[in-house]
Chains A and B, each alone.
Chain A
Amino acid sequence: MKTIQPWLGLVARLVLGGTLIAAGYLKFDELDKSQMAVRAYEMLPISLANFLGIVVPFFELAVGILLVIGAAVRITGALSALLMIGFMIAISQAWARGLSIDCGCFGGGGQVPEGEANYLTPLLRDTGLALLAIYLTLFPHTKFGLDKTPAPATQLGESNNG
């Protein structure tokens, strides 16, 4: 297990980071739509929703890039876990309230015609990504990362986290 763990971490980092970069990049191009997507969840005051519509793509890009490079994995893992949990709350409440919106996960977003909303796919995807993020928060030492490889002494300490 000890030898597989860093490799698992590498896969988790690349999948989670790659997804975040893709999501951030696609929204980055159309920030009006990104704002629209956040507003359509009808969760937040409009001015805050508009603010988040711009900030979230930048945040996704930053966290995604750092994850792929493997820098500050514990912190970026925790931040992306929080982000995913936020997304899951937003999607679930939209589903529960019967809103007809596009999740806007990878660009797009806003209202869609009645019956065309799909909440299950994004919810499952975000659950998977949240699990990867939590895994990275718990086991941040991964292969090919910029983070300092722990000396044997700290490795002993690390096993306490598990």
Chain B
Amino acid sequence: MAKQPGKDNFTRNLVIAVVVGVLLIMLVPTLLSRQTDSSASIPANVSADRGYGVVFNGELTGVPVIDIYEDFQCPVCAQFEQLNGAYIESLIAEKKATVVYHTLSFLGPESVNAANAAACSADEGKFLEYHRLLMMNQKQENSGAWDNGFLATLGQTAGITSQKFSSCVNKGDYLGWVSNVAAAGAKANVNSTPTVFVNGKEIDRNASEYFDAAKFKAAVERG
């Protein structure tokens, strides 16, 4: 088959059009899906004004506001939880701080599953218990361990008995909310997890305010 120059150009242009076209067709919906979907259903205690985080003691005034950005699959977040989790929960119980949990999901599909399940647990009033359990039960990232079946069963360990919870986990009722949290985290310029803001100011990573319980406490009290 003798190649005609004109024919070659046609094939070439067609190939270019297909490659560029297909990628553009994929790009546009991806960009749109990153927009905040204000119609997505949100779980209990979530405030859109606070970056779609799960809020505890939102009504208090004159106390420090602690914003915690974390991913349930992030090992360093589990370390942070182990060191400071009990202290943070005591601040919530004693009404000494407003605490907002932002459950990011940049580590992959099982982070998304976990964040959705955590939202379901907020509806049952068991977010803190469930949150603690997830951090204690971290598995290898996206290994298939955190499927919805496991996450629903874990709810029972947290003391959740309702049928609604497992249906919420399995159906992914709060997937829209999960991506809203991610979009809000991106807008807040959170570039690693855990990231903690006290009264809107990030605590000092280089002064080990994250991984020294005494220093973390001091950072919170400093406000």
Decide if B186 touches A62 in the complex (CB within 8 Å).
no
Determine if A40 and B191 form an interchain contact, defined as CB atoms under 8 angstroms apart: yes
CA of A5 to CA of B100 in the docked complex: distance in angstroms? 61
Complex contact A148–B9 (CB within 8 A) = yes
**CB<8 Å pairs between A and B, sample of 22:** A30-B108, A32-B105, A33-B107, A35-B186, A36-B106, A36-B190, A36-B191, A46-B186, A50-B34, A55-B27, A58-B24, A58-B26, A62-B19, A65-B19, A72-B16, A111-B191, A111-B192, A111-B205, A112-B192, A146-B8, A146-B11, A146-B12
Contact check, B206 vs A114: say whether CB atoms are below 8 A apart: yes
Residues of A bordering B, CB below 8 Å: 29-33, 35-36, 39-40, 46-47, 50-51, 54-55, 58, 61-62, 65-66, 69, 71-72, 101, 110-112, 114, 146-149, 151
Given contacts A55-B27, A58-B27, contact A71 B16 (CB under 8 A): yes
Whole-angstrom distance from the CB of B140 to the nearest CB of chain A?
Answer: 16
Residues in B7-59 with C-beta less than 8 Å from chain A: 8-9, 11-12, 15-16, 19-20, 23-24, 26-27, 30-31, 34
Interface membership of B222, Cβ < 8 A:
no
Is the Cβ of A32 less than 8 Å from the Cβ of B186? yes
B34 CB, nearest partner CB in chain A, Å: 7
Contact of A54 among B12, B27, B191, B192 (CB under 8 A): B27
Contacts of B162 in A (CB 8 A): none
Q: How far is the CB of B197 from chain A (nearest CB, A)?
A: 15
Count of A-B contacts with CB under 8 A?
78
Q: Is B114 an interface residue (CB 8 A)?
A: no
Bound complex: CA of A50 vs CA of B206, how far in Å? Answer: 26
CB-based nearest B residue for A46: B189
- Residues of chain B within 8 A (CB-CB) of A46 are 186-187, 189
Q: Which 3 A-B pairs have the closest CB atoms?
A: A32-B106, A111-B192, A40-B191
Chain A nearest CB from B24 CB (Å) reads 8
Q: Which of A33, A55, A71 is the most central at the interface, judged by chain B CB atoms within 10 Å of its CB?
A: A71
A55 and B192 CA atoms in complex are apart in Å by: 21
A10, B49: Cα distance in complex, Å: 54
Inside 8 A of A114's CB, which chain B residues have their CB?
206
Given contacts A29-B108, A46-B187, 19 further A-B contacts (CB under 8 A): A32-B105, A32-B106, A33-B106, A33-B107, A36-B192, A50-B187, A54-B31, A55-B27, A58-B24, A65-B19, A66-B15, A69-B19, A110-B192, A111-B192, A111-B205, A146-B8, A147-B12, A148-B5, A151-B5
| Known contacts A35-B186, A36-B106; A110 and B9 CB within 8 A of each other | no
C-alpha gap A62/B24 in the complex (Å): 9
B104 within 8 A of A: yes
Say which residue of B23, B108, B186 sits within 8 Å of A58 (CB atoms). Answer: B23
- Give Cα A97 to B109, complex, Å: 34
Q: A39 and B16: CB pair below 8 A?
A: no
A31-B189 contact, Cβ under 8 Å, with A71-B12, A146-B15: no
Taking the closest CB of chain A, its distance from the CB of B37, in whole angstroms, is: 16
B34 touches A71 (CB 8 A): no
Pair A39/B186 contact, Cβ less than 8 Å: yes
In the complex, what distance in Å separates the CA atom of A149 from the CA atom of B9? 10
Q: Which of A30, A32, A39, A72: most chain B Cβ within 10 A?
A: A32
